[in-house]
Amino acid sequence: MISVRDLQLDEQGRLRHFLTVEGLNSEWLHRIMDTAETFGSVRERQVKKVPLLRGKTVVNLFFETSTRTRTTFELAAKRLSADVLNINVAVSATAKGETLLDTIRNLEAMSVDMFVVRHAGSGAAHFIARHVAPHISVINAGDGRHAHPTQALLDMFTIRRHKPEFGPLKVAIVGDILHSRVARSQIHALKALGVTEVRVVAPRTLLPVAVESLGVKPFCDLDRGLEDVDVIIMLRLQKERMEGALLPSEREYYRCYGLTSKRLAKAKPDVLVMHPGPINRGVEISSAVADGRHSVILEQVGHGIAIRMAVMVLAMRSGQ
Ligand code: CP
C-alpha cells in the first residue's frame, strides 16, 4: 500500500493532499506558516480576495458538526476566489444509504478540484485521497480520533506569532488526550518544531496507553503539569467519543483539571492560554481565564483562515 508520505507529497516533494502533520518536518511546517503570513493582510483589504484559486471548485464535506473549521475553510476558499460547495450531509443522499466512495465519485463527476473532509472515522480522508483522480486534493478537516492537521498548524502559527523560538518552550496540553485528534496533531507538530518539553496533563483514564512513546511527559496532577510552562493548550472532554464512565462527574473534573486564575499562576508570567474550541466554561476552563489577558483563543480562530488559505494554495500548486 502507498505510504502516507507518498500519498501526501507528490513526486517533486510538493504538497498534494494535507492529511496529517506526521512525516512533515520543521521546514515544511514553517513553509506553511510563512505562506499563511503572506495572507494575513488580505482580511484588512476593502475587497478581501486574491485570485489564486479562481476557477477552482472546493467541496466542504463535513460528516461531523463544526463551527470554526467549516466556516474558516469556506472563508479561506472564498478569499482565494474559489467556488465553494457546502454539502449538508444531513440532507444528502448519505442519509439514503449512499456509500462514502459513491458520494465522492458523484461529486468528482461535477469537476471539483478539492475536497475538505471531516469524518468520524479515523482514516476517512486518507481513504478518499487514495481514490480520487490525480488532479484532486484532499484536505483533512478532522478524522475520528486520528488527526486535525490544519488545527495543529493554526495553533503553531499562533504560538510563533507570540514566541518565535520553538526550541526553548515548555508546552502543556491539558484534558482529554485519549480521544483528541487535535492533541495528536499538536504533539507531532510541536516535536517536529523542536519544542524542548511537551507535557500532557489528564486523569489516567484520559491518557493513551504508552503516551510517552510520542515523546511527551505525562502528568496526572494539573498543578505540577503547569509549573513554569510557556503555553497551555486546554482541550474539551469529547463525550461523544467516550465509551463507559471515564470520569466521576464534570464537577469533579473541573475541581481537579479546570484551568482557573489560581492555577494559571503556576505557569510563566507571560503564558499563552489556548483552546481549539468549542470551549466548555466551568468544565475545563473558567470564564475568567478564557476571556482573560493570557487567552489567545479567538486569535487562534482568526489565524485559521490564513493557515487554511496557505494549505489550499500549496496543495493546488501540486496539480498544476
Ligand atoms: N476546533 C475545531 O475543530 O472546532 P469545530 O469543531 O467548531 O470545527
Distance CA 266, CA 53 (A): 46
Distance 309 CA to ligand 1 centre (A): 17
CATH number reported for the structural domain that contains residue 75 in this entry: 3.40.50.1370
Stronger pLDDT, 3 or 19, i.e. the higher one: 19
Give me the phi and psi of 114, to 5 degrees please.
-150, 140
Pair (99, 20) in one structural domain? yes
Mean confidence (pLDDT) of the chain: 94
| pLDDT at position 75 over 70 | yes
Residue nearest to atom 6 of ligand 1 (CA): 66
Pair (105, 153) in one structural domain? no
The tens digit of pLDDT for each residue in 168-205 reads 999 999 999 999 999 999 999 999 999 999 999 999 99
Stronger pLDDT, 52 or 1, i.e. the higher one: 52
Q: What is the pLDDT of residue 36?
A: 97
SS (H, E, C) 242-287: CCCCCCCCHHHHHHHHCECHHHHCCCCCCCEEECCCCCCECCCECH
Whole-prediction pTM value?
A: 0.95
| 118 CA closest ligand 1 atom index | 8
Pair (246, 307) in one structural domain? no
Residue nearest to atom 5 of ligand 1 (CA): 66
Distance 311 CA to ligand 1 centre (A): 17
Pair (117, 233) in one structural domain? no
Pair (193, 263) in one structural domain? yes
Distance CA 306, CA 77 (A): 10
Pair (200, 161) in one structural domain? yes
Give me the phi and psi of 267, to 5 degrees please.
-85, 180
User: Ligand 1: residues within 6 Å at CB?
Assistant: 66-69, 142, 151, 276-278
Pair (138, 273) in one structural domain? no
Q: What is the pLDDT of residue 89?
A: 85
In the chain, the percentage of residues whose pLDDT exceeds 90 is 85
Pair (57, 181) in one structural domain? no
| 142 CA closest ligand 1 atom index | 3
Distance CA 281, CA 208 (A): 25
Residue nearest to atom 3 of ligand 1 (CA): 69
Strand order in the sheet with 217-219: 217-219, 197-201, 170-174, 231-234, 272-274
Which domain does 46 fall in, by range?
A: 4-147+303-318
Q: What is the pLDDT of residue 92?
A: 78
Confidence of residue 97 (pLDDT cuts 50, 70, 90): confident
**Domains held by the chain: number:** 2
The CA-based angle 105-110-111, given to 5 degrees, is 95
Distance CA 114, CA 107 (A): 10
Pair (180, 283) in one structural domain? yes
Cis peptide leading into 218, omega within 30 of 0? no
Q: What is the pLDDT of residue 93?
A: 78
Pair (259, 133) in one structural domain? no
Pair (245, 313) in one structural domain? no
Distance 280 CA to ligand 1 centre (A): 13
Pair (184, 45) in one structural domain? no
Distance CA 5, CA 17 (A): 10
Helix (H) or strand (E) holding 199: strand 197-201
